[in-house]
A = this chain, B = another copy of it.
Amino acid sequence: MKKSKPTILVVNDDGITAPGIKALMDAMAEIGRVVVVAPDSPQSGMGHAITIGKPLRLDQVDIYEGMEMYRCSGTPVDCVKLAVNKIFKGKKPDLCVSGINHGLNNSINILYSGTMSAAVEGAIESIPSIGFSLDDYTLQADFSHCIKYVKELAQQVLDNGLPTATLLNVNFPAGAHIKGIKICRQANAKWAEEFDERMDPHKRPYYWLTGVFQMNDNGEETDVWALEHHYVSVVPVQFDMTAHHAIPVLNSWEFKV
């Protein structure tokens, strides 16, 4: 005997008009009752930012027929907080899904990603949460090959739940030739920055942040490896950032204060 239709909160960081969130809300509508709360403008790279110095707007909008949607003036994390507090009013949704992001959020990108931070915030609120991202930055990105995996992973999380205080970071390779799902760890990698320095018309310099992804990990159990080998990467994520293994090291220090 099945329980009633689950309620699913859909968020993203590319903004409420992005094709990626349309693909995600349509997929989720096949599984449950969908409520969309998304930023009114692109918020890529916002990480876990919240809005504390200015007030927020939250307005219901009618973009796609039959879809309950709200646009928010804040960050992706603000969207989740407002959804829980002002829309669900304490009766939490059964699932929070974020994305589908235009661009990968594997490896170290999880820290910079508004998409993943929204999913992390869902997990902090004890809502089973998943972030989805595709290896295609363009607004023309084709999400169609992701949909069956998105639905399967959402259903598995609804059926099985997730270990306490964890969420999923799911990344898709571009193109249709997917070999399957791989459970992975976050690859050890970073961005090597290369600021593009330019001069404004007033002869003052300004800088565009660019960079090269620098892989420092040969492991075959990483998300980077999985994506390079045409798997969907699934990394279980936690928000306890304690380096537990470092506690005994620090306890061996002799403080002179």
A246 contacts across to B, CB distance below 8 A: 162-163, 166, 236, 238
Contact-residue size bin, chain A (C-beta under 8 Å from the other chain): 35 or more
Bound Cα distance from A253 to B240, whole angstroms:
24
Q: Does any Cβ of B come within 8 Å of A251's Cβ?
A: yes
Q: How many copies does the complex hold?
A: 2
Q: Does any Cβ of B come within 8 Å of A7's Cβ?
A: no
Convert A143-172 into 0s and 1s, putting 1 for each residue whose CB lies closer than 8 angstroms to a CB of B: 000001100100010001011011010000
Cβ–Cβ contact A185 & B237, under 8 A: no
Bound Cα distance from A84 to B209, whole angstroms:
13
- Ordered by A's residue number, 29 sampled pairs between the chains whose C-beta atoms are within 8 Å are A44-B53, A45-B50, A47-B47, A47-B50, A47-B117, A48-B111, A48-B112, A52-B209, A56-B209, A57-B207, A58-B207, A82-B195, A85-B193, A108-B124, A108-B239, A111-B124, A111-B241, A124-B190, A149-B257, A156-B255, A162-B246, A163-B243, A163-B246, A165-B188, A180-B257, A183-B251, A188-B240, A236-B246, A238-B243
